[in-house]
Structure 1
Amino acid sequence: MHPIIYDVAVSLDGYIAGPNGDVTRFAHEGPVVEDYAQRMAGYRLAIMGRATYEFAFQFGLKPGDDPYPAMRTLVFSQSLALPETCDIEVFRKTDRDMLEQLKSDADGPIYLCGGGAFAGALLEMDVIDSLRLKRAPILLGSGVRLFGEGSPGVTLVCRETKDYPDGYVFQEFRVGS
């Protein structure tokens, strides 16, 4: 059984993106980004919701393209329309049994790359095993929340904390007691 890991940058006030999906205030280079790139090499499967997949279009990704060609990518959406031939897989429903089967069948850790509402749904289903948070020294005020509009109360156990000179703090948590 391989873990689902939510590995994401988050502002100190709990947002993974600002208004209109703005991520320009998060680091795009430096040690925190280099460490993230090293962690990315360890993932074997990427999962995300439709909004996160479509968010990548503004950075040049085309419908059907794989944002993570080094790993298998699954997008969960009831409405995403793609070309007949594409490099990703689309799942039309999300349920706990199917996600547990994915964890069992995966050949390594699963990267949950967002977004907030999708992560919130997975947290509510109790299928997220770890959080890897890159806490940014910024306040966004509004935008996309870490777990969407709400999340269940969950106990987290801190596994690692690393401070960076630019004010970022990386923390890894195990979900559950």
Structure 2
Amino acid sequence: MTKVTLYIAASLDGYIARSDGGIDWLSILDIEGEDYGYGDFYESIDAIVLGSKTYEVGLGFDQWPYPEKKSFVFTQRHLQSDREDVVFVSGSVKQALADIEAQGLENIWLVGGGELINSFLQHSLIDEYIISTIPIILGGGIYLFPPPTPEEKLELISSKQYPNGLLQTHYRRKVKI
């Protein structure tokens, strides 16, 4: 059975990027030797799901940020890539997830952005949430959970506070009975 985990950082006021898509504010997290559990998490996943704008942000890095993992990019645009590990998806999130599962990929990282996260929420497809709350108020930008967002009951698995003020919380979706 496929498990989808939203692993993401957000500002204290609930934004994942500035209005222009900028994520420069995340640099306050750069502490030598500290990865906030990212390495272990990355090793635990089989594939990555992301929106086209998040994909384009990743292209702007010095090197592809998701090496050795198959990346499924949701888009309605006609994008292309020379990378064999990047697949563009234009169908529904439910069908795409079924196709991903059919490939034997079980642990899926939902990277973002807000619109794609909301699509997964609309269908109750996010099993776990690992949210790193950054001690900054941006005052505007791209919401982590853009409205309208459906109600989703969660249970806390764990939380960890870091010396720089980052608070990482790990939740699991409560199964509806």
Match in the other structure for 2:58: 56
RMSD of aligned residue pairs (Cα, Å): 2.0
Quick one: which amino acid aligns to residue 92 of structure 1? Answer: S
Distance 1:150 1:173, change over 3 A: same
Residues 76 and 94 in structure 1, CA contact (< 8 A), matched pair in contact too: no
Q: Which sections of structure 2, spanning at least 5 residues, go unmatched?
A: none
The aligned runs of 1:33-44 (5 Å cut-off) are 33-44=35-46
Aligned partner of 2:83 in structure 1 is 86
Cα pair 2:89 2:96 within 8 Å, conserved: no
TM-score calculated relative to the size of structure 2: 0.87
Aligned-pair identity (%): 26
Q: How does 1:20-31 map to 2 (within 5 A)?
A: 20-26=20-26, 27-29=29-31
Cα distance in structure 1, aligned partners of 2:69 and 2:23: 23
Distance in 2, matches of 1:32 and 1:136, equals 15
Partner of 2:17: 17
Return 5+ residue gaps in structure 1 as ranges: none
Residues 144-170 of structure 1 show CA distances to partners (whole Å, capped at 9, x for unaligned) of 111234311111111111111111111
Do the aligned partners of residues 30 and 173 (structure 1) sit closer, same or farther apart at CA in structure 2, a change above 3 Å counting?
Answer: farther
TM superposition score normalised by structure 1? 0.87
Counterpart of 2:121 in structure 1 is: 123
Q: Deviations over 1:42-89 (max 9, x none)?
A: 11100111111012232246xxxx641221111111113215x43211
Q: Secondary structure of 2:38's match?
A: helix
- Number of residue pairs matched by the alignment: 172
Determine the C-alpha separation between the residues in 1 that align with 2:19 and 2:34: 23
**C-alpha distance in structure 2 between counterparts of 1:105 and 1:168, whole Å:** 36
Quote the Cα distance in structure 2 between the aligned partners of 1:154 and 1:122: 12
